[in-house]
Amino acid sequence: MTPVGFPAVRPRRLRRTPQLRRLVRESRLTPAQLVLPCFVKEGLTRPEAIPSMPGVVRHSLKSLAAEARQAQRLGIGSILLFGLPRRKDARGSQADAAEGIVQQAVRAVKAAASALTVITDVCLCEYTDHGHCGILRGTHVQNDATLARLAAIAVSQARAGADVVAPSAMMDGQVRAVRRALDAAGFTETPILAYAAKYCSAFYGPFRDAAASAPQRGDRQGYQMDPANVEEALREVALDIEEGADLVMVKPALAYLDVLRAVKERFHWPTAVYQVSGEYAMLKAAAARGWLDEDRATRELVTAMRRAGADLIITYAARRVAQQLHAAP
């Protein structure tokens, strides 16, 4: 409605040229707000393709360093590391090994691209032989026993040089346990990015292929969130902030933009969103069939996440988006 006393306005006047559209753009995206997730696999000598995620690979340490250098050249702000160990066991013992694959990867990225913020995933699913995110007893994940393992992993990763640690197991009290362990080990300045509202989603399938982390029995409905709930997400975020989370995350992205908006409006806290593997794979599949323009669709989806309130956007398309932003800001 036009305010009383004002002349009639034609909104199209400000849409007429690229320059005018940029002038009044409400949601602005820069490469620095992008986070590139990367898989690194112990023992690889060259990258290994992931069929369900076209354009994404499991890296060797050498290829990861090259990927990090390219991300830094594009101005991408952060890299998020997931590790695939050579050996798995019931307690995920390689997750906090001093020479574990993520610990080696952190050092490789820091040496290759010092301007990148290195974020490490703190979880057990890639390291356990049963594929669950915690210590399993029978068919149930043991919350409190898992906290000690998550704390040890976070300290090991911080010791290797991680700039930010990101507990993702959705155990009650995980942020408090990680914060206390980091502080006790002298890493009082290491921030925590909490996977605060992580839903039990159908969109994780390609990731589980990539990370070889699918549960061997049972599922994760007992600790990841019910997709029907948003008030519960707000409670989870509030708890994580109270326990010491410096940043919080909503995961996945596209089906949970309402949750992202609610989190940002309620807490005004640094907030990340994760465009997960299934979301990425759907887009790639549709583009491969000529059903949509991949560049435009990717940019539109990432802009929607930014518009909904994301300060950081974790996406496997980070390089592609950064290249677009450089070409046509």
Question: Alpha helix (H) ranges present in the chain?
Answer: 18-23, 61-73, 101-112, 143-160, 174-184, 205-211, 231-243, 257-267, 277-288, 294-308, 318-327
Whole-number Å distance between alpha carbons of 310 and 247: 11
Residue 15: inside a domain:
no
Mean pLDDT of the chain: 91
Reported confidence tier of residue 21, pLDDT bands at 50, 70, 90 = confident
Average pLDDT over residues 28-44: 95
What is the extent of the structural domain holding 246? 27-327
* Residue 150 near residue 197, CB atoms below 8 Å: no
User: At residue 164, does pLDDT exceed 60?
Assistant: yes
Query: Could you give the CA distance from residue 215 to residue 226 in angstroms, rounded to a whole number?
Result: 18
- Assess if residue 82 is contained within a domain: yes
What confidence tens digit (pLDDT) does each residue in 103-127 have? 999 999 999 999 999 999 999 888 8
319 within a domain of the structure (yes/no): yes
Quote the pLDDT of residue 238.
98
Question: What type of residue sits at position 18?
Answer: P
Local confidence band at 6 (pLDDT 50, 70, 90 cut-offs): low
Residue 32 lies in a domain: yes
Which residue numbers are catalytic?
Answer: 198, 251
User: What CATH number corresponds to the domain at position 245?
Assistant: 3.20.20.70
Q: Is 5 part of a structural domain of the chain? A: no
pLDDT, residue 325, reads 92
Residues of 114-142 as b/e, b for ≥16 C-beta within 10 angstroms? Answer: eebbbbbbbbbbbbbebbbbbbbeeeebe
Any domain includes 3: no
pLDDT above 60: residue 215: no
pLDDT value at 135 more than 90: no
Of 25-39, 161-175, 207-221, 256-270, least confident by mean pLDDT is 207-221
> pTM for this structure?
0.92
Say whether pLDDT at 233 is over 80.
yes
Q: How large is the average pLDDT for residues 71-86?
A: 96
Mean pLDDT of 307-313: 97
Say how many domains are in the chain: 1
Residue 217 or 278, more confident? 278
Give the pLDDT score at 7.
64
